[in-house]
């Protein structure tokens, strides 16, 4: 009977260890899901930021083109205040082409 008691105790101990491991697995799995949700939110923010950056760049290019073509000093000043300088492309003269040349955008020097 002595061997039966030891086997019973070993089986109960192994069952308890298995139960503890299952609970630990569930806790770690839940923590993993929480971390994954945070990572997904950050990735979504990064993706949206990239989309907005492309839109922003296109908007600045259009504004610079309008400022260059219309010789709009107020718009040039606004762009310069935000660190954007307009430099006309070198190539065919604007008078010869009839439509004018589109400007190149270059970031202005950083101000302290």
Q: Which sequence spans correspond to the domains of the chain?
A: 2-107
- What is the chain's pLDDT, residue by residue, as a tens digit (112 residues)? 588 889 999 999 999 999 999 999 999 999 999 999 999 999 999 999 988 988 888 888 888 888 888 888 888 888 888 888 877 662 222 322 334 444 555 555 444 4
Query: Facing residues of 85 across strands?
Result: 106
Give the Å distances, CA to CA, from 1 to 5, 6, 10, 62, 81: 7, 9, 14, 91, 92
pLDDT of residue 43: 94
pLDDT of residue 103: 52
Q: Report the distance separating Cα 39 and Cα 36, nearest Å.
A: 5
pLDDT of residue 59: 87
């Amino acid at each position: 009977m002595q061997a039966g008691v030891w086997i019973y105790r070993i089986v109960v101990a192994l069952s308890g260890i298995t139960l503890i491991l299952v609970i630990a697995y569930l806790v770690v799995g839940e923590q993993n899901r929480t971390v994954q949700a945070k990572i997904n939110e950050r990735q979504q923010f990064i993706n949206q930021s990239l989309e907005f950056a492309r839109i922003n760049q296109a908007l600045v290019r259009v504004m610079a083109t309008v400022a260059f073509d219309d010789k709009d000093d107020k718009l040039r000043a606004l762009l310069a205040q935000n660190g954007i300088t307009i430099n006309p492309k070198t190539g065919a003269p604007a008078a010869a082409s009839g439509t004018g040349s589109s400007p190149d955008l270059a970031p202005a020097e950083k101000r302290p």
